[in-house]
Structure 1
Amino acid sequence: MNIAAHAPRFSHRLTWCIIVFIVGIVVACATLPDVGYLQAREAAPASAPTIVNAHGELAQGKKQALLNNLEDKTGASDILTKHVAVEEAISGAPLVAGNKVVLLDDGPITMRAMMNAIRAARDHINLETYIFEDDEVGRALADLLIEKQAAGVRVNLIYDSAGTIDTAREFFGRLRAAGVSTLEFNPVNPLHTGGDWELNQRDHRKLLVVDGRIAFTGGVNISKVYGKSSFLKSRRQAPPKDAKEAAWRDTHMQIEGPAVAEFQKLFLETWRRKTGRPPGDAHYFPPLTAQGTALVRAIGSTPEHADYTIYKTYVSALANADKTAHLTTAYFVPDRQILRAMQDAARRGVDVSIVFPSFTDVGMILYAGRAYYDELLEAGIKIYERKDAMLHAKTAVIDGVWSTIGSTNLDMRSFLHNDEINAVVLDAEFAGRMEALFQRDLRESSEITREQWSRRGPVERIKEWAVQLFSYWL
């Protein structure tokens, strides 16, 4: 999510936004690299991607059989013939075979699944989150972490300083006093940092790894806003007025199998990068066996490496879409290359459809996204706005075979300034579940047509124009 998010006390968040805005004006604006080469569909097909399982790299024949099986189920797609290998070159991460992937399509089911996994932990718990609120959900999880630490399970926690700006320091002090190892990512207070003060770089990842055998990732933070379902509502219930009243619509996923080790590496790399040492001893990499049939790639992106991994992955995936590209995003402040990839896909006949929020926790973000509606609609992209729930999901499903769930919004902050994490899944069955969830969101959304959008009033147009002037810093 963007800098100010989820906050029940919006004044603190507004203060934080103002601080970052001022800092952003003082320092030079970072820019995204030219990735026009990723949009060259006429380029020769890439070589076959690396695919590994629990025993090492698959032989060429087995590798090709897996890809052929996917193609048989979904039809020929440049996602499979070109993008998948390009994605490996972008990320440096292999495709990992033999995984069980479970779609967690709302906040309550996600929190239950994560709490159950933590209760069953026997060796270690690694949790990385942007927001960890001191509310009924946060306290229940904190109590459970303390309980597991007392039982001899090593607990390591990374939390973002800006994301937890409304959470009392005593909340984390209680965890530390109980023996939980904690890392405050890039402290807002410069007196608390041990090195360079990198105020604008945030850890926006949401990752839980338990015993090195089960991983969770997606868009769900630790907050009571996920306490009620975004799909269940009474007919007599009035539509929510704002994000504080609404249920939050988010998407998470659970992974078991050899790919869990790749997510574990991302957690441990962040810990080492920020502390200069590994976390305390635990059995972080147990032997893993196949649990399912899905191919999974773990993708992490950090501005410290200037790799722009997830940004490049999105551009390439859109450039190689052949049939459908269905996306959900909570915050939309794209650069011209992402826009071009979407527009080019739509103009060559791909069904590009995007679900946006109809209201949000930061009003400026809403207008920043709407400022691009004219361009999207003109290219033939279908736009929908989710009703009755605060949309916070960040997902895509392309050509019925390639899916991604993660923490990354389609905005400049995610691409340039945040540590982000996404899971990419190649699996027709999982893509089918993702597509069904997308269609479910469409039924809860209103379509924005060109005719309708052209009739919006001058006040709305002025807001869109004004917000665009400083959208880079949102």
Structure 2
Amino acid sequence: MRILRAQNWLAAVLALWSLVACASLPTVDADRTKAQAAPAPVVKTANGTLPADKAKALLAKRWSKSTLDLKAQAALEDAATGVPLIAGNQVKLLFDGPATMAEMMKAIAGAKNNINFETYIFDQDELGDKFADLLMEKQRQGVTVNIIYDSVGTLTVPQQFFDRMKAAGIHLVAFNPVNPAKVRGNGWKVNNRDHRKMLIVDGKIGFAGGINISDTYSKSSPFRSKSRPKSEKDVGWRDTHVRIEGPAVQAMQWLFIQNWTGQDADDLREADYFPTPVIAGDKLVRILGSEPGGKFEIYKAMLLAIQEAKKSIHITCAYFVPDEQTLQALIDAAKRGVKVELVLPSVSDSGVVFHAGRAFYQRLLEAGVRIHELNLAVLHAKTVVIDGVWSTVGSTNMDTRSFLHNSEVNVIVLGDAFGKEMENAFREDLRNSKEVTLASWKDRGVVTRMKEWAAKWWDYWL
């Protein structure tokens, strides 16, 4: 479900683009950021911004010396991203397609005023039709429905699919059209994609993560399954999403509106997009949205957490083609005694990305990083949990495309309760994975090595 899924000619266009210019990611230095950080992070609530002393008190739990100091880490992220923490949220982890789709459709069915939906892929298949039919029914009931879909992610979807929703009254925007004739005013930016997956219902319930609208999610993966599937055709993709209630949903709403207006789209129709926020739980959340030419908020937050990790770094990543700074941060963490473990794909919908990521295995394994490849299911999750207290779920892969060229959204959750759920999920993925050892990797065949070498030439654009 990446740009490589689109037609071959588009890949050729992007390849030619690489001859013109290559932007770069910023240097992230934890020590330098500490010098700029305030004594306490900014924490917003349903009733406004907390005073500094109360923000400190909220994060004043005496965490073990073997884990991140969350108060200090939160202040670091504040300084690096400029995005505040938001208190008073409920966050529910969702795994795989069927469970996530059931929760999303339940929320849509209960919508009273407005639905804002943003996705990279919206396929016309059995699941896509069912999702579209429900959205059209809510529009007919008087609920305002707005959709942003990526024009590359939906390149093979017939235009009639979207025209049918438009005829039902739904307001739609195709993000950065592939056809230059359809560009409205912000220039032809075919290399910049909207990779976000967000659903916001009535400004009160929000969903974000890695799951698109596609039949690849109509079946469950082996995750937490008591019976093992007989073959790959019986397996759905392995992914992770979150459902949020509370003040943080307003931050998601703002990201949607900013992306909408950034496309020079028609004004959003009148609706109650920002109802009075209420406290829904006890989770501290930071909603990070990144975009090409922006401030690299997600990249900075992830790197700072990796650089500050003291005990463990557990990453589950669908497309792992790290830039040199991220790669070195993982190696440095392993060398200072942090237990760094990665769950990566053993099968992928993008062979080039798959082999480009494997080109980094030897350096990581030699540094002590443990690598596990998920069996059977196509891995599409993008999650990180550090020291069991800093967690993120989102649409962002660990590759240059996500950090530099895509609009992405990640949810960061602070605290050991949510961290424990993330750690349990990571261990479950380990159970369904096979470890790649340094000895076995050095013994791989010549053909595999050649594929890695060839793919790595394109890692900037994957």
Match of 1:31 in 2: 24
Whether the aligned pair in 1 keeps the contact of 2:149 and 2:175 (CA below 8 Å) is: yes
Q: 2:44 aligns with which of 31, 46, 52?
A: 52
Whether the aligned pair in 2 keeps the contact of 1:45 and 1:81 (CA below 8 Å) is: no
Residue aligned with 2:12, SS: helix
Letter in 2 for 1:231: P
Residue 281 in 1 paired to residue 276 in 2?
Answer: no
Match of 2:72 in 1: 82
Match of 1:95 in 2: 85
After superposition, the Cα gap between the structure-2 partners of 1:28 and 1:56, relative to the gap in structure 1 and judged at 3 Å, is same
Aligned-pair CA distance for 1:107: 1.1
Match of 1:444 in 2: 432
Match of 1:353 in 2: 341
Q: Normalised by the size of structure 1, how large is the TM-score? A: 0.93
Letter in 2 for 1:57: T
After superposition, the Cα gap between the structure-2 partners of 1:132 and 1:445, relative to the gap in structure 1 and judged at 3 Å, is same
Letter in 2 for 1:264: Q
Match of 2:128 in 1: 138
Q: 1:63 aligns with which of 55, 69, 84?
A: 55
After superposition, the Cα gap between the structure-2 partners of 1:277 and 1:47, relative to the gap in structure 1 and judged at 3 Å, is farther
Match of 2:209 in 1: 218
Aligned partners of 2:171 and 2:20: how far apart in 1? 33
After superposition, the Cα gap between the structure-2 partners of 1:45 and 1:193, relative to the gap in structure 1 and judged at 3 Å, is closer
Whether the aligned pair in 2 keeps the contact of 1:162 and 1:188 (CA below 8 Å) is: yes
Aligned partners of 2:437 and 2:42: how far apart in 1? 43
Aligned-pair CA distance for 1:247: 1.4
After superposition, the Cα gap between the structure-2 partners of 1:278 and 1:323, relative to the gap in structure 1 and judged at 3 Å, is farther
Aligned partners of 2:450 and 2:34: how far apart in 1? 41
Match of 2:280 in 1: 291
After superposition, the Cα gap between the structure-2 partners of 1:421 and 1:79, relative to the gap in structure 1 and judged at 3 Å, is farther
Aligned-pair CA distance for 1:42: 8.6
Q: 2:456 aligns with which of 455, 465, 468?
A: 468
Match of 1:21 in 2: 15
Letter in 1 for 2:88: G
Residue 186 in 1 paired to residue 179 in 2?
Answer: no
Deviations 1:416-447 (A, max 9, x none): 10000000001211111010000000000001
Whether the aligned pair in 1 keeps the contact of 2:67 and 2:389 (CA below 8 Å) is: no
Q: What are the residue-to-residue correspondences of 1:196-215 with 2, within 5 Å?
A: 196-215=187-206
Aligned partners of 1:210 and 1:16: how far apart in 2? 34
Aligned-pair CA distance for 1:273: 1.2
Letter in 1 for 2:39: S
Q: Which runs of 5+ in 2 are unaligned?
A: none
Match of 1:454 in 2: 442
Aligned partners of 2:150 and 2:346: how far apart in 1? 27
Aligned partners of 1:246 and 1:376: how far apart in 2? 30
Whether the aligned pair in 2 keeps the contact of 1:383 and 1:449 (CA below 8 Å) is: yes
Whether the aligned pair in 1 keeps the contact of 2:96 and 2:221 (CA below 8 Å) is: yes
Q: Which runs of 5+ in 1 are unaligned?
A: 6-11
Q: 1:177 aligns with which of 162, 167, 187?
A: 167
Deviations 1:103-140 (A, max 9, x none): 00111110000000000000000000000000011101
Q: What are the residue-to-residue correspondences of 1:142-161 with 2, within 5 Å?
A: 142-161=132-151
Letter in 2 for 1:228: K
Q: What are the residue-to-residue correspondences of 1:64-463 with 2, within 5 Å?
A: 64-69=56-61, 71-72=62-63, 77-195=67-185, 196-231=187-222, 237-240=229-232, 246-275=235-264, 278-305=267-294, 307-463=295-451
What percent identity do the matched residue pairs reach? 49
Aligned-pair CA distance for 1:225: 0.5
Aligned-pair CA distance for 1:462: 1.1
Aligned-pair CA distance for 1:312: 1.1
Match of 2:3 in 1: 3
Whether the aligned pair in 1 keeps the contact of 2:347 and 2:378 (CA below 8 Å) is: yes
Letter in 1 for 2:331: Q
Residue aligned with 1:247, SS: coil
Whether the aligned pair in 2 keeps the contact of 1:39 and 1:315 (CA below 8 Å) is: no
Match of 1:8 in 2: none
Whether the aligned pair in 1 keeps the contact of 2:220 and 2:235 (CA below 8 Å) is: no
After superposition, the Cα gap between the structure-2 partners of 1:48 and 1:370, relative to the gap in structure 1 and judged at 3 Å, is same
Aligned-pair CA distance for 1:66: 1.8
Whether the aligned pair in 2 keeps the contact of 1:41 and 1:320 (CA below 8 Å) is: no
Aligned partners of 1:283 and 1:378: how far apart in 2? 55
| Alignment RMSD (CA, Å) | 1.9
Deviations 1:158-189 (A, max 9, x none): 00000001111000001111110000000111
Aligned-pair CA distance for 1:44: 8.8
Whether the aligned pair in 2 keeps the contact of 1:54 and 1:289 (CA below 8 Å) is: yes
After superposition, the Cα gap between the structure-2 partners of 1:75 and 1:290, relative to the gap in structure 1 and judged at 3 Å, is farther
Letter in 2 for 1:338: T
Residue aligned with 2:237, SS: strand
Aligned-pair CA distance for 1:83: 2.5
Deviations 1:206-235 (A, max 9, x none): 000000000000000000100111026696
Deviations 1:129-153 (A, max 9, x none): 0000000111011111110011110
Q: Normalised by the size of structure 2, how large is the TM-score? A: 0.95
